[in-house]
Amino acid sequence: MVLKTVFKHSGSAGVLRALRHLALAACLCLVFCDTAAARDVRYSGSEQTVYVKPGEPTQVSFPSGIEGGFRRRNSAVKIERQDNHLIVFAQPELSPEGEAIIVHLDDKRTYSIRVTPADDVNVRDDRVKIIDDRVPEVDVEGPTYTDSEKPSKFAPPTVVSGLMREMILVAEFGKKKGIPGYRRSNRYSGETVMHDGAISAKVDEIFMGTDLWGYVIDVENLLNTSQRLNPATFRLDGTRAVSAERWELAPRPLTAEQQISNQHRSKIYVITRSKRR
């Protein structure tokens, strides 16, 4: 009705003014319409994706306080922890595939979050709230050693060397009973924590105890040449020890024999202080 009135009384000048008004309204819409989104995500047991934009913060809230977590050493994601939420800042070098982080809560629940660049389809998340109906996990894999059960010639798993030995027995020699005194979690087995084009690192298992935590990580060489792994790549805050099945990885296999030998892969073992202390 307004446009008809302008056209009627002002002729072509009115048309021009109306077009200018429409153009201005469109520009204001582009400026002020929020391109970021706030989402509630109900946890379903799988990796959750958070969409970010380099240089802009995204808040991720969890149902309980945050105790710690895991991300690769040369991460393209910067994180600030505040009570029960993380402020995530993506760096320009974040790859299109994104980067995985693992978050541990003080009630023993654990989440895998993939921080991925936003695009035209998936706009940047301003705030993400994780909703989880699970009962917090409090089970323990097994009892601690009694005096009669404690090996007399070996360090117990409550110390770094003992936990490292037990993790190797589980990962490489198929020990099935787990590690006494540690809760064994393979909920995020297969989740990628590093993929830089040279190597791929995925979570195998996590062992959580009162004083120590142990991470078993499966690493694979993606190159056609051999390469030596750097232990510093896998160090986390509070790291007490890093070990490996092998530090020298063979080139990516080209034959069935090379594939069977599995020399292009290795288990990495990382022991840290408990994240719940």
- The string of pLDDT tens digits covering residues 210-249 is 999 999 999 999 999 999 999 888 888 889 999 988 999 9
Strand partners, 212: 273
Q: Which of 153, 124, 144, 4 is nearest to 53 (CA)?
A: 124
Tell me what pLDDT residue 36 has. 63
- Three-state DSSP at 50 gives strand
Contact assessment for residue 188 and residue 206, using Cβ atoms and an 8 Å cutoff: yes
How many other C-beta atoms are found inside a 10 Å radius of the C-beta of residue 52? Answer: 25
**pLDDT at residue 194 tops 60:** yes
Q: Could you tell me the pTM of the whole model?
A: 0.49
**pLDDT at residue 98 tops 80:** yes
**pLDDT at residue 5 tops 90:** no
Place of tokens 């959580």: 208
Distance CA 166, CA 177 (A): 10
Q: Which of 103, 140, 101, 97 is nearest to 119 (CA)?
A: 97
Contact assessment for residue 47 and residue 191, using Cβ atoms and an 8 Å cutoff: yes
Distance CA 110, CA 118 (A): 24
Q: Topology of domain 37-131, per CATH?
A: Immunoglobulin-like (2.60.40)
Q: What are phi and psi of 175, to 5 degrees?
A: -60, 130
Distance CA 126, CA 118 (A): 11
Q: In this structure, is the dihedral angle defined by the CA atoms of residues 70, 76, 79 and 84, taken in order, positive or negative?
A: negative
**pLDDT at residue 19 tops 60:** no
